[in-house]
Amino acid sequence: MVRPKTKQSNKNQDLLNTSNKLILYNDDINTFDFVIESLVEVCGHDFEQAEQCALIAHYKGKCSVKSGIFEDLSVMSHELTIRKLTVVIE
């Protein structure tokens, strides 16, 4: 008799393997040019995409700038944090 495979729920593994979002929050410290430059260098955005994200964060308070697996976003989050940008992974 062949047993069907059952999926074990491991919350930490699910967090690592599912798509997460890197959220940029607006601040009153960094210039638009600096935020745009950082998004281009760290997240691989082109200029227009980075500019749109900066504007959305400015007017709405936050913007999802990247989605992907946790490990990749964690590296980007760390680099943006070093640059004094406020980001979280959701």
The length of the chain in residues reads: 90
Is residue 22 assigned to a domain? no
CA distance 38 to 5: 45
Q: How confident is the model at residue 16, as a pLDDT?
A: 53
Is residue 9 assigned to a domain? no
Is residue 69 assigned to a domain? yes
Is residue 13 assigned to a domain? no
**Contact call for residues 54 and 26 (beta carbons, < 8 A):** no
Is residue 60 assigned to a domain? yes
Q: How confident is the model at residue 9, as a pLDDT?
A: 47
DSSP E strand boundaries for 44-83? 62-68
Token pair of 70 as six digits: 């946790």
Is residue 40 assigned to a domain? yes
Q: How confident is the model at residue 74, as a pLDDT?
A: 98
Please report, in angstroms and rounded to a whole number, the separation of the first and last CA atoms in the chain: 42
Structural domain count, the chain: 1
| Structural domain of 48 | 30-89
Q: For 50-90, what is each residue's pLDDT tens digit? A: 999 999 999 999 999 999 999 999 999 999 999 999 999 99
